[in-house]
Structure formats: structure tokens, C-alpha cells
């Protein structure tokens, strides 16, 4: 059991954030965790394809039972843009931040096992990991990444509403059956018995779309900044909806006849939180055009918005849900 003792100040400073790196690296658990495969069967199928971008390389770096992994769940990053450029930069910077001695240790183990990457020096092995991660993201995950990101955002929005209703204790006790909180101590069911005080950086929670159960924890060590928090990943609410297909509106639907095809399509996309940038990319339209339609739909009461860091997201309001349902 991991027990984290929390002061009143620690509790008040708890943060919930979305970090794309947690979801991307956690998706690779489908290499080895059967419990997650049934929930995310389409991705598990893709990961069995050795020719899928980056998959063969990542397998050799992450699933070898006797070699330490070069790719680890990171500390969190707040307010990361969901654009492909920002996500790939996050992945590259993540590998860059791994201490040289850790990369060297991985290289030694790979060399002992006759791995094709065992002869790489530290810089070379970093490049291998960076390129494989970026290839994996752009070639395997990106087709459904917007929806995965939206599910994580929707989880955060739900937790914010739940805090108002049930308090932080109600939220923490609802994350899953392996996490509990009694008002002073956060308990995480784990094979190790650890009792610590919350670090100066506090506690950060992040929803993980590709986590079927349990939790992931990253705590500060000697290589981290003094203000690094304990970061805890938990299964995102509604993750199974990632693979549900939204029904396409027909060209002669009453909704399109009422408001036009573009606004009808925006409503179909806004069943999960989306930003102006996301919508512009999905609809292949200029951002100013999408922004104008969003303002009209919001004034009509069909969309609501919320801010997460620097970004504003739109989703269907109750009226918009009712209209879509009809």
C-alpha cells in the first residue's frame, strides 16, 4: 500500500490535468496487459502488426523482461496543445529529459541481449526512442487521437462538477477501487508498502484513456526538480466510447435543412469537447469560419464552452443534445 499523508494545504492544491504523454505511453501497455485489450481491441490489433509505424522498435524498448525500459511514464506537463506538432514535441522532450546514466543502463542491457539497438550510444538511443514514439503517434494513434483527447477532457470537466457537488473526497474515492481517501491520507493499493508525506509539489491527477483498471504513479526522485509533484494516472471515465462511431448525418436530414451542413457537422463533432483548432482540422475549414459558426451555435444555446488552461473547448449543451437526439 502506498500511503500519502496530506495537509489541508495539500488537499486544497490538488490539480487535475490532461497530459498527452501519459495517454500515449500508457497505450503501449496493450503490448503486455491482456486486461486492457478487450476494452481497446482495435488498438491491440494494430499493436500486433510489427509493420505498424514504430511498433517493432517500441516493443524492443518496452517489453523486454530483463531490460529496464527507456520509455517511462513521465511527470506531468500542464496546458499542452493537442496539435500534432505540440504532442510530438512533448514526446521528444520527454526522452531528452531522461538522465544519461539511465539511457546508458538501458543500452548496456540491450547490448548484452544482442538487441539491434545495443550498439547505439546514449545520443543514438535517444534518437531511436524519439523517432519510434513520434512514428507511433502519427502513424497509429493520430487517426483517433482527437477523440481520445476529448474523452480525457470530458473526464476533467465531470470531476470539476463533482467537486462542487461531493467535495474533493468524493472525487478521489470515485476514481477507482484501488484509490481511496479518508480526508488526510491518500491510499493506493500497491505491492510495496510506502508511507510518505505529500511532496512540496503536491498531488496531480490525470485521466488515462488507455488504462482499464488500477493506477499509474510517478513520484519525484533525485533527478527531478524540487517542486515535482506526485502524479497519479487513473482510468478515464467513458474510455470505452473511444471506439463508438458517430452516425453520419445524411445530406437531406432535417437538421442540415434547418441550419446548413457545416453547423450540423459541428454539432455532430461536439458530442465530446472540441476546440476551434480541432474542428478546423476535422472539417478542413479555416479557423475564422469555424469560430464564426461556433459563436452562432453558442448564442443559440446549442453549445456551451469551458476553458482548460489557455484553450477553450466547446461541447453540446442540454438543448444541443436534445436537438441532436431528435
pLDDT in tens, the chain (326 residues): 889 899 989 898 999 988 888 888 888 877 766 555 667 878 888 777 878 898 888 888 875 555 556 676 677 777 677 788 889 999 998 888 888 888 888 888 888 888 888 888 889 999 999 999 999 999 999 888 888 888 888 888 888 888 888 899 999 998 888 999 998 999 998 887 888 888 888 899 999 998 877 888 887 766 666 678 888 999 998 887 788 755 444 444 666 767 788 888 888 888 778 888 878 888 888 889 999 999 999 998 999 888 776 778 888 888 888 887 65
The radius of gyration of the chain's CA atoms, rounded to the nearest angstrom, is: 21
pLDDT in tens, 294-315: 999 999 899 988 877 677 888 8
Contact 162, 170 (CB under 8 A): yes
User: H/E element holding 322?
Assistant: helix 318-325
Query: Across the chain, how many H-helices and E-strands are there?
Result: 14, 10
User: H/E element holding 4?
Assistant: strand 2-5
Q: How far is CA 51 from the centre of its chain?
A: 24
Q: What is the pLDDT of residue 250?
A: 47
Work out the burial of residue 145: count CB atoms within 10 Å of its CB; fewer than 13 is exposed, 13-18 middle, 19 or more buried.
buried
Domain assignments of the chain as residue spans, ordered by start: 2-17+147-241, 20-142, 245-325
Give the cell for residue 138.
Answer: 502519427
Contact 95, 149 (CB under 8 A): no
pTM metric for this prediction: 0.75
Q: What is the pLDDT of residue 127?
A: 93
21's CB contacts (< 8 A; 6+ apart) are: 73, 74, 77, 90, 91, 94
CATH of 245-325, one of 1.10.10.10, 2.30.30.140, 1.20.58.390, 3.40.140.10: 1.10.10.10
Residues found in the chain: 326
Contact 199, 13 (CB under 8 A): no
Helical segments of the chain, H only: 8-12, 20-27, 34-37, 41-47, 55-62, 84-96, 100-112, 122-136, 145-172, 254-259, 261-269, 276-283, 287-299, 318-325
Phi and psi torsions of 101, nearest 5°: -65, -30
Give the separation between CA 246 and CA 253, rounded to whole angstroms: 15
Put the strands of the sheet holding 230-235 in their side by side order: 15-16, 203-208, 230-235, 216-218
Amino acid at each position: 500500500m502506498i500511503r500519502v499523508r496530506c495537509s489541508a494545504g495539500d488537499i486544497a492544491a490538488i490539480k487535475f490535468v490532461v497530459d498527452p504523454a501519459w495517454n500515449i505511453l500508457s497505450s503501449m501497455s496493450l503490448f503486455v496487459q491482456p486486461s486492457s485489450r478487450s476494452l481497446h481491441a482495435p488498438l491491440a490489433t494494430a499493436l500486433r502488426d510489427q509493420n505498424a509505424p514504430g511498433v517493432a522498435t517500441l516493443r524492443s524498448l518496452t517489453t523486454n523482461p530483463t531490460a529496464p525500459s527507456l520509455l517511462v511514464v513521465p511527470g506531468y506537463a500542464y496546458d499542452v496543445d493537442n496539435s500534432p506538432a505540440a504532442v510530438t514535441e512533448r514526446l521528444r522532450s520527454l526522452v531528452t529529459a531522461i538522465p544519461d546514466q539511465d539511457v546508458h543502463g538501458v543500452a548496456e542491457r540491450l547490448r548484452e541481449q544482442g538487441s539491434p539497438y545495443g550498439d547505439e550510444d546514449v545520443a543514438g538511443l535517444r534518437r531511436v526512442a524519439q523517432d519510434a514514439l513520434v512514428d507511433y503517434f502519427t502513424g497509429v494513434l493520430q487517426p483517433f487521437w482527437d477523440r481520445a483527447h476529448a474523452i480525457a477532457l470530458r473526464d476533467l470537466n465531470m470531476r470539476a462538477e463533482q467537486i462542487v457537488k461531493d467535495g474533493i473526497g468524493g472525487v478521489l474515492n470515485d476514481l477507482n477501487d484501488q484509490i481511496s481517501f479518508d480526508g488526510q491520507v491518500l491510499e493506493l493499493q500497491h505491492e510495496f508498502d510506502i508511507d510518505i508525506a505529500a511532496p512540496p509539489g503536491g498531488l496531480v491527477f490525470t485521466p488515462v484513456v488507455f488504462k482499464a483498471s488500477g493506477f499509474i504513479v510517478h513520484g519525484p526522485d533525485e533527478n527531478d526538480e524540487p517542486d515535482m509533484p506526485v502524479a497519479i494516472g487513473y482510468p478515464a471515465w467513458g474510455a470505452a466510447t473511444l471506439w463508438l462511431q458517430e452516425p453520419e448525418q445524411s445530406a437531406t436530414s432535417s437538421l442540415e435543412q434547418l441550419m446548413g451542413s457545416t453547423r450540423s457537422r459541428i454539432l455532430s463533432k461536439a458530442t465530446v469537447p472540441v476546440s476551434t483548432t480541432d474542428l478546423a482540422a476535422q472539417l478542413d475549414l479555416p479557423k475564422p469560419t469555424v469560430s464564426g459558426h461556433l459563436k452562432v451555435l453558442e448564442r443559440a444555446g446549442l453549445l456551451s464552452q469551458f476553458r482548460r488552461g489557455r484553450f477553450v473547448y466547446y461541447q453540446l449543451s442540454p438543448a444541443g443534445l436534445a436537438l441532436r437526439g431528435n
